[in-house]
Each structure stands twice: as C-alpha cells, then as structure tokens.
C-alpha cells in the first residue's frame, strides 16, 4: 500500500466515513470555489484617503518608513533618501515596466541597473503589486517584472507603491490576484512584507536586518 493510501485510509477510518461524496463533497468543493470571506477587521475599511493614512500608520508602526510623493518626484525622492542615509547613489532596479513611467533619466547621478540582484548590491528599487492598509504591508509577486531575490538580498529596499494599489484588508489582495492570474492560480511566490527583516533571537531584543533588508522605504505615489 502506498503512503498516500495509508494516510488517506487512516484519516477516513478515524473519521468513520469513506471518501467524501454527495452533498458533503459538493459543499467542500463549493467552499473552495467561492472562498467566502470570514471576519474582516473594521480598521481595514474606510475611504481611499483613510486607507492611505491607515497604511502609513501601520507601515511606520512596523518600522518601515513612508514618504508620500507625486509621480514626477519619484526619482528625486529616491536620490534624496539614499543621500540622507549615507547610501551610494547606485541601485539594482526591478525589470518592472510599471517603473518606466518615472523619469529616471532626469537624475543622471543615480546609477541604475535593471535585472537580478547581486550579493554586492546594497540598494534595490522595486514596484509592488499592492499595499495592505490593515497592517501596512507590501505585496510583492514573483514574475518577469520582479525576481523574488531582489527584495531580499540588498540591505536597503525602496518600494514604489501607487496610491491606487493600496487596498484595505488582505482579502482584497486575493481578489486582485484572482483577477490577474485566474481562480485558484498563484505566481510562484507572493511575498507579503511588513517592515524590514528583523530578529528577536538574542535575548528577545529587536534587531533589524537579520537576513533581508535592514531598511524598507515605501514611496507612496499619487497620480
């Protein structure tokens, strides 16, 4: 008997039934198809403006920094952030076409490379699929526009998030994923990132920058 049969057989014997069938099976299938929403915290609700404020509040609470800027100011805001943190004006940028709408050429001193990150890269610039207001969380989906390692290897991550992409609760991200990839389909990774990398493993004291970025800076871009 295969391990599979053995495990499924024991489960069914313990539950005192055969494989699900009839109405019970249909109900379980319907649940997967309909994926009903459970309880959504009230703090995730609100007008678009309130959502932005909620996002900013919780992102900051979780040790990210947030700056609200207009689209035309994005390259300048990145350059300023790097300068003020004594970081080199050099970064690896995700090959995300959504980032092409900003006038990077207008900041010739900002040296950008598009593509996969190298271990030596100190700064990464990426877009984001969405922001979750409820917890101040960034949502990063893998794909040609976004290698997963780009938001993990460099010590500093600057994420460019459009205001229109800030949703209330996590459930709204799932709706967007289903609309983009199809029902029940996910890209290889969907990383939800709340603040920079951290550890409390030495005497339970918070230290930032364990394996991932030490700094997470979010540019919240109005149109």
Binders of another protein among residues 110 to 139 (CB under 8 A) are 115-116, 119, 135-137
Nearer to another protein, 35 or 83 (CB): 35
Task: Give the shortest CB-195-to-another protein separation in angstroms.
Answer: 5
- Confirm or reject binding of residue 207 to another protein (CB under 8 A): yes
Helix (H) or strand (E) holding 111: strand 111-114
Distance (Å, whole) CA 159 – CA 142: 14
If binding is defined by CB under 8 A, does position 105 make contact with another protein? no
- Angle at 149 (CA atoms; ends 147, 154), nearest 5 degrees: 125
72 exposure class (CB count in 10 Å sphere: 0-12, 13-18, 19+): exposed
Binding-site size, another protein (CB under 8 A): 78
Nearer to another protein, 127 or 196 (CB): 196
- The CB-of-170 to another protein minimum distance in angstroms stands at 4
Q: Give the distance, in angstroms, between the CA of residue 156 and the centroid of all CA atoms in the same chain.
A: 15
Kindly tell me which of 97 and 222 has the beta carbon lying closer to another protein.
97
Q: What contacts 12, CB < 8 A, 6 or more positions away?
A: 18, 19
Near another protein by CB under 8 A, which window of 47-55, 68-76, 160-168, 204-212?
A: 204-212
Asked if 199 interacts with another protein (CB under 8 A), we say yes
Min CB(26)–another protein separation in Å: 11
Check binding of 81 to another protein (CB under 8 A): no
Q: Does 194 bind another protein (CB under 8 A)?
A: yes
65 lines the binding site for another protein (CB under 8 A):
no
Q: Is 84 in the site for another protein (CB under 8 A)?
A: no
Q: How far is the CB of 155 from another protein (least distance, A)?
A: 9
Among 169, 217, 220, 221, binds another protein (CB under 8 A): 169
- Indicate the SS3 state at residue 126: strand
By CB under 8 A, tell whether 45 contacts another protein: no
The verdict on 15 binding another protein (CB under 8 A) reads yes
Closest Cα partner for 206 from 193, 218, 196?
A: 196
Cα–Cα dist 117/31, whole Å: 40
Does residue 28 contact residue 35 with C-beta atoms inside 8 Å? Answer: no
Using CA atoms, how far apart are residues 107 and 72, in angstroms rounded to an integer? 12
Cβ 176 vs Cβ 192: under 8 Å: no
Restricted to residues 22-41, the positions that interact with another protein (CB under 8 A) are 24-25, 28, 31-32, 35-39, 41
Match 């500093």 to its residue by tokens.
Answer: 156
């Amino acid at each position: 008997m295969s391990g599979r049969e053995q495990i499924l057989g024991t489960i069914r014997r313990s539950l005192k039934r055969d494989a699900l069938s009839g109405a019970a099976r249909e109900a379980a299938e319907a649940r997967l198809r309909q994926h009903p929403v459970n309880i959504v915290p009230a703090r995730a609700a609100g007008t678009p403006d309130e959502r932005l404020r909620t996002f900013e509040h919780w992102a900051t609470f979780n040790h990210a920094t947030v700056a609200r800027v207009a689209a035309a100011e994005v390259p300048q805001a990145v350059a300023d952030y790097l300068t003020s943190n004594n970081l080199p004006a050099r970064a690896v940028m995700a090959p995300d076409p959504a980032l092409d709408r900003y006038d990077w050429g207008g900041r010739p001193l900002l040296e950008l490379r598009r593509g996969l990150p190298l271990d030596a890269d100190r700064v990464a610039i990426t877009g984001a699929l969405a922001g979750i207001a409820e917890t101040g969380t960034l949502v990063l989906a893998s794909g040609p526009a976004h290698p997963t390692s780009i938001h993990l290897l460099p010590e500093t991550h600057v994420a460019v998030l459009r205001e229109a992409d800030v949703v209330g609760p996590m459930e709204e991200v799932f709706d967007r994923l289903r609309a983009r990839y199809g029902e029940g389909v996910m890209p290889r990774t969907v990383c939800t990132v709340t603040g920079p990398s951290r550890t409390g493993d030495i005497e339970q004291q918070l230290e930032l920058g364990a394996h991932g970025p030490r700094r997470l800076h979010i540019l919240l871009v109005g149109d």
